[in-house]
């Protein structure tokens, strides 16, 4: 597909998207770009046609009847290397998840025990020792190798699906050599999956090393680098041919220009439809108007409009677009959007928060961060963050499509956050993790520390982790509490999560709720502490509100620095939010009705009848369930005030 684009410098640029089956012969480029020395749109169009013809002539020289007869060895070797490299990545991903995700590891061990109790591997159809056909997260192991296709059959299917090798190429000795290598790649992947199913992780890693050996190119034929050099010279020759055609035409001949002037409709899409800056400006303006309208309707017209969440989404969207390397949003394809997901997974997490590393990223734009992080060696972003980036891009593209600024959203449906990246199905803290957390001096010696600007003790360091863990709350819901949010209902002390107070916020309408206070907090003097705070005051006045992180900025930084990182939680993607997951998983594992935890944690209960017609769960019933949640690690916590 050909594009003409007038650049900001006044020069026309020719762009041609290379069909997938030919990209190996263009140095694996997705498109060819060329600046045109044209003085008018008509002349640029003529030159564009000439370059397009040169590209198509080059492709025809290496193609006969729709099959590539040249470079057959290079193509097959690249196929082997591609499948081996992909397999290595999947093996390492599975091994890493077992090592770092305790719940996933426990699920795999339970599946192993269950299968053994049901007759062992003999009862499983196919090559493997576990039946994962109806599994949840464990079904990801099937991505290493599918359940029942033999290595030879899969190799045949792959070669047939490529449709790039004619019978002459398939009859060569080189083809036999590399086709059998491809079979061996698939055999190794089967062995690797079996090793992982049996928790033989060292064996799986050893197989990955063998796959790496298979991915190395044979030295007796041209290497990939040599093939690329040949391709690059061919592209240069192609442009020389195009320029030769161009020189046959008189630049001053208006007759020739008029003769090839295309219809206006064919030039309709030759200029950029929308840039990132233009879309950002329009999107931000509309969101600001919406926020202002909401404030006026709520009688809060004098309050400052908070666009922090909108700006955060825009920044994520801009990073995603930067990683595509495409400035014209209308030119981003579905393939471009899919490729970004893998790049995002390699981005460093919080690169500017690491002392001694920040300068490495300051000097480079986001498109270089993956390469820079090879030196910095920072942890990469979590899968949920990848989902958030892709969701931001899809949301803003949807808005652009809705307002007829774009015709297509290439990011739509790539990441389903509701099903695949829901924060509330993340990891829980183990009992050992909780022991480490609550053995900190803040909890055992009441060494709270004081805020520099106010000299107030950091009561939040003591109370908010416990409040979050024992009530399944979102961290900021507890950090933003005010004195008036603590009161009695039916003689039961409760706390209220609301957005009515200054700087208070909730995630959605279901987040506004009332929760009975856990008895252990009352025993540690929580109500005594509340009495020392005025009704209209922040319960934790040492915490300062920030637009992006609300009241959790200081507390989150402290928890990460003094608890998460020293205990290795950061490397396991565990943080403050996992207190909430720990609470939720307690109810799931104990078979408590979804209605009760949904009311406590502020979820939309998935039963339609309950949502629309049921009464709220009684606080007495909620109190019973909350108090029944016991955390042995909290026994070492010293009371803040004696009752």
Average pLDDT over residues 55-74: 55
**228-242, 252-266, 462-476, 487-501: which has the minimum mean pLDDT?**
252-266
Q: Report the pLDDT value the prediction gives residue 517, as an integer from 0 to 100.
A: 95
Answer whether residue 223 shows pLDDT above 50: no
Answer whether residue 632 shows pLDDT above 90: yes
Q: Report the pLDDT value the prediction gives residue 72, as an integer from 0 to 100.
A: 46
With contact defined as beta carbons under 8 Å apart, do 246 and 304 qualify? no
Between CA 228 and CA 226 the distance in angstroms is 5
Average pLDDT over residues 610-636: 74
Number of Cβ within 10 Å of residue 638's Cβ equals 11
Answer whether residue 614 shows pLDDT above 50: no
Q: Report the pLDDT value the prediction gives residue 241, as an integer from 0 to 100.
A: 43
Average pLDDT over residues 66-72: 43
With contact defined as beta carbons under 8 Å apart, do 562 and 461 qualify? no
Q: pLDDT tier at 524 (50, 70, 90 boundaries)? A: very high
Answer whether residue 272 shows pLDDT above 50: no
With contact defined as beta carbons under 8 Å apart, do 439 and 636 qualify? yes
Q: Report the pLDDT value the prediction gives residue 393, as an integer from 0 to 100.
A: 92
Between CA 599 and CA 24 the distance in angstroms is 56
Between CA 5 and CA 8 the distance in angstroms is 10
Residues 6+ apart with CB under 8 A from 55: 16, 18, 32, 238
Q: pLDDT tier at 215 (50, 70, 90 boundaries)? A: low
Q: Which residues of 186-208 are buried (b: 16+ CB within 10 A; e: fewer)?
A: bbbbbbbbbbbbbeebeebbebb
Q: Report the pLDDT value the prediction gives residue 596, as an integer from 0 to 100.
A: 56
Average pLDDT over residues 404-409: 83
Q: Report the pLDDT value the prediction gives residue 191, as an integer from 0 to 100.
A: 85
With contact defined as beta carbons under 8 Å apart, do 165 and 68 qualify? yes
Q: Report the pLDDT value the prediction gives residue 238, as an integer from 0 to 100.
A: 43
Token reading at 496: 């209220």
The CATH classification number of 431-634 equals 1.10.443.10
Q: What is the DSSP letter of 351?
A: G
C-alpha distances out from residue 542 to 451, 480, 510, 556, Å: 6, 11, 28, 13
Helices (H), 101-172: 102-117, 151-162, 167-170
Q: Report the pLDDT value the prediction gives residue 292, as an integer from 0 to 100.
A: 80
Average pLDDT in the chain: 75
**66-70, 139-143, 539-543: which has the minimum mean pLDDT?**
66-70
CA 403 remoteness from chain centre = 26
Rounded to the nearest 5°, which phi and psi values hold at 19? -55, 145
* More confidently predicted of 591 and 633: 633
| Of the candidates 52, 49, 6, 12, the residue with the CA atom closest to the CA atom of residue 32 | 52
pLDDT digits (tens, 9 = 90+) for 288-315: 888 888 777 777 766 677 788 889 899 9
Average pLDDT over residues 239-255: 42
137-146, 164-173, 498-507, 522-531 — most confident range: 522-531
pTM attached to this predicted model: 0.41
Q: Report the pLDDT value the prediction gives residue 616, as an integer from 0 to 100.
A: 46
Q: pLDDT tier at 643 (50, 70, 90 boundaries)? A: low
Average pLDDT over residues 11-27: 78
Kindly report, as residue ranges, where domains of CATH 1.10.443.10 are found in the chain. Answer: 431-634
With contact defined as beta carbons under 8 Å apart, do 366 and 319 qualify? yes
Q: Report the pLDDT value the prediction gives residue 167, as an integer from 0 to 100.
A: 59
Q: Report the pLDDT value the prediction gives residue 62, as an integer from 0 to 100.
A: 59
Answer whether residue 424 shows pLDDT above 50: no
Answer whether residue 219 shows pLDDT above 50: no
Average pLDDT over residues 138-166: 74
pLDDT digits (tens, 9 = 90+) for 474-502: 899 999 999 999 999 888 999 999 888 88
With contact defined as beta carbons under 8 Å apart, do 183 and 158 qualify? no
How many Cα atoms occupy the beta-carbon half-sphere of 484 within 13 Å? 9
Among left, alpha and beta (phi > 0; psi -120 to 50; other), residue 7 is: beta
Q: What is the DSSP letter of 504?
A: -
Between CA 397 and CA 403 the distance in angstroms is 10
Answer whether residue 468 shows pLDDT above 90: yes
Number of Cβ within 10 Å of residue 243's Cβ equals 15
| Of the candidates 516, 515, 480, the residue with the CA atom closest to the CA atom of residue 501 | 480
pLDDT digits (tens, 9 = 90+) for 36-53: 877 777 788 888 888 888
């Amino acid at each position: 597909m050909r594009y003409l684009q007038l650049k900001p410098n006044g020069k026309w640029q020719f762009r041609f998207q290379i069909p997938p089956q030919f990209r190996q012969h263009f140095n694996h480029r997705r498109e060819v770009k060329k600046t045109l020395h044209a003085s008018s749109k008509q002349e640029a169009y003529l030159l564009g046609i000439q370059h397009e013809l040169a590209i198509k002539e080059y492709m025809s020289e290496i193609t006969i009847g729709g099959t590539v007869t040249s470079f057959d060895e290079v193509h097959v070797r690249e196929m082997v290397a591609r499948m081996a490299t992909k397999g290595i990545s999947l093996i390492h991903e599975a091994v890493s998840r077992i090592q770092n995700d305790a719940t996933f590891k426990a699920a795999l061990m339970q599946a192993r025990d269950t299968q053994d109790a049901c007759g062992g591997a003999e009862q499983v159809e196919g090559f493997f020792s576990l039946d994962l056909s109806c599994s949840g997260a464990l079904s990801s192991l099937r991505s290493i190798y599918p359940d029942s296709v033999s290595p030879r059959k899969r190799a045949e299917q792959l070669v047939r699906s490529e449709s790039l090798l004619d019978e002459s190429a398939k009859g060569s000795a080189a083809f036999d050599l590399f086709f059998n290598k491809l079979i061996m790649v698939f055999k190794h992947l089967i062995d690797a999956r079996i090793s992982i199913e049996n928790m033989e992780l060292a064996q799986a890693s050893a197989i990955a090393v063998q796959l790496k050996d298979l991915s190395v190119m044979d030295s007796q034929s041209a290497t990939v680098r040599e093939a690329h050099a040949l391709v690059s010279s061919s592209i240069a020759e192609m442009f020389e041919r195009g320029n030769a055609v161009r020189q046959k035409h008189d630049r001053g001949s208006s007759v020739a220009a008029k003769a090839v002037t295309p219809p206006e409709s064919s030039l309709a899409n030759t200029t950029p439809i929308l840039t990132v800056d233009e879309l950002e400006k329009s999107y931000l303006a509309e969101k600001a108007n919406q926020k202002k309208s909401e404030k006026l309707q709520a009688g809060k017209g004098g309050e400052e409009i908070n666009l922090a969440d909108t700006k955060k989404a825009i920044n994520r969207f801009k990073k995603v677009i930067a990683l595509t390397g495409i400035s014209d949003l209308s030119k981003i394809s579905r393939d471009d959007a899919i490729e970004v997901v893998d790049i995002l997974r390699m981005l460093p997490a919080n690169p500017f928060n690491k002392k001694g590393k920040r300068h490495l990223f300051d000097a480079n734009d986001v498109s270089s961060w993956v390469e820079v992080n090879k030196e910095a060696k920072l942890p990469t972003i979590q899968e949920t963050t990848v989902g958030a980036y892709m969701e931001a891009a899809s949301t803003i593209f949807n808005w652009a499509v809705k307002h007829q600024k774009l015709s297509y959203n290439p990011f739509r449906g790539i990441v389903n956050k509701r099903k695949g990246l829901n924060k509330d199905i993340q990891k829980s803290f183990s009992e050992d993790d909780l022991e480490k957390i609550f053995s900190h001096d803040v909890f055992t010696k009441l060494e709270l520390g004081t805020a520099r600007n106010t000299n107030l003790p950091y009561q939040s360091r003591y109370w908010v982790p416990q409040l979050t863990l024992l009530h399944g709350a979102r961290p900021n819901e507890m950090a933003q509490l005010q004195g008036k949010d603590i009161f009695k209902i039916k003689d039961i002390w409760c706390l209220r999560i609301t957005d009515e107070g200054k700087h208070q916020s909730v995630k959605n309408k279901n987040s506004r709720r009332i929760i009975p206070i856990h008895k252990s907090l009352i025993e540690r003097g929580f109500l005594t502490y509340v009495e020392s705070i005025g009704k209209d005051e922040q319960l934790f006045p040492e915490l300062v509100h920030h637009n992006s992180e609300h009241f959790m900025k200081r507390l989150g930084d402290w928890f990460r620095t003094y608890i998460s990182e020293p205990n290795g939680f950061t490397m396991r993607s565990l943080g403050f939010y996992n207190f909430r997951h720990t609470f939720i998983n307690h109810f799931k594992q104990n078979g408590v009705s979804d209605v009760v935890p949904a009311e406590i944690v502020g979820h939309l209960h998935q039963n339609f009848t309950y949502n629309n017609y049921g009464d709220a769960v009684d606080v007495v019933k909620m109190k019973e369930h909350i108090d029944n949640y016991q955390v042995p690690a909290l026994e070492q916590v010293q009371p803040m005030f004696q009752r």
